[in-house]
Amino acid sequence: MPPLKERRPNQSLQPTAPKRPWLISNVGQKMKIFDWLFGRRERALENVSPYAQQMLVLARQEADRLFHSFVGTEHLLLALLSTSDGAVALKTAGIDPVQLKKIVEEALHPGTTVRREAVIPCTPRVMQVLKIGGKEAAELGHDFLGSEHIVLGLLRLRKGVAWQSMKKFPVSLERARSEIRSRLFVSSQMPNQASEPTAPSGRGSP
């Protein structure tokens, strides 16, 4: 029989708890993970188009209005509904913007506490919508990201509160893509009159 090994004084007789690599107790490590999840995501938003950044600002305002601690697809949809071009894009896709806003508002519940974050982080689904919207723009041959492409991104993602609200209307991705392609084509064929200033009301032309 081999000799028994002597137990060291600093060794405990109690069984050691199993290691849990997914359980992070260190505050610094938690902050690093938070920065990885949200900080890099926010820095990635610097590469999106100015219009997309504007829509994200409006989406954050909607989240702040509802006392939500995140920016989800529902807030992005409300941001689209708050602009005239977003409402037109939704209507082109076969969705009534007035009825859609009522459905979204009824589906959301305001938060009970005031948020403390300086910047409300975006959810991964919002990033996916913007990414898909960029793909839709490229497939349509467009060199910009507009409200129409974000609408297609929301329809193509098929997830989140925004999709749950939009699917209450008889709309399909292919139909929406076809209608949006037709409207943008017609708009591109129209002469650009934005550079010609119109005469103010009450005054005649010189």
Residue 48 covered by a domain: yes
Top-confidence residue, 53 or 94: 94
**Cα(162)–Cα(180) distance, integer angstroms:** 19
Residue 117 covered by a domain: yes
CB atoms within 10 A of CB 173: 14
Residue 201 reports pLDDT greater than 70? no
Q: What is the mean pLDDT of the chain?
A: 75
User: Smallest Cα–Cα separation from 148: which of 116, 115, 114, 178?
Assistant: 178
- The model's pLDDT over 95-110, given as tens digits with 9 standing for 90+, comes to 999 999 999 999 998 8
Residue 22 reports pLDDT greater than 90? no
User: Smallest Cα–Cα separation from 96: which of 81, 107, 79, 116?
Assistant: 81
Which residues, at least 6 apart from 132, have a Cβ–Cβ distance to it below 8 Å? Answer: 152, 153, 156, 157
In whole angstroms, what separates CA 98 from the centre of its chain?
A: 20
Residue 105 covered by a domain: yes
Residue 84 covered by a domain: yes
Which residues, at least 6 apart from 64, have a Cβ–Cβ distance to it below 8 Å? Answer: 115, 120
Alpha helix stretches (DSSP H) within 10-83: 27-34, 40-44, 50-65, 73-81
Residue at token pair 């090994």? 5
Residue 108 covered by a domain: yes
Q: pLDDT > 70: what percent of the chain?
A: 63
> How does DSSP assign 145-182, residue by residue?
--HHHHHHHHHHH--HHHHHHHTTSS--HHHHHHHHHH
Residue 194 covered by a domain: no
- Total domains in the chain come to 1
Residue 22 covered by a domain: no
Residue 131 reports pLDDT greater than 80? yes
Domain that holds residue 121: 37-184
User: Average pLDDT for residues 52-59, to the nearest whole number?
Assistant: 90
Residue 72 covered by a domain: yes
CATH of the domain at 113: 1.10.1780.10
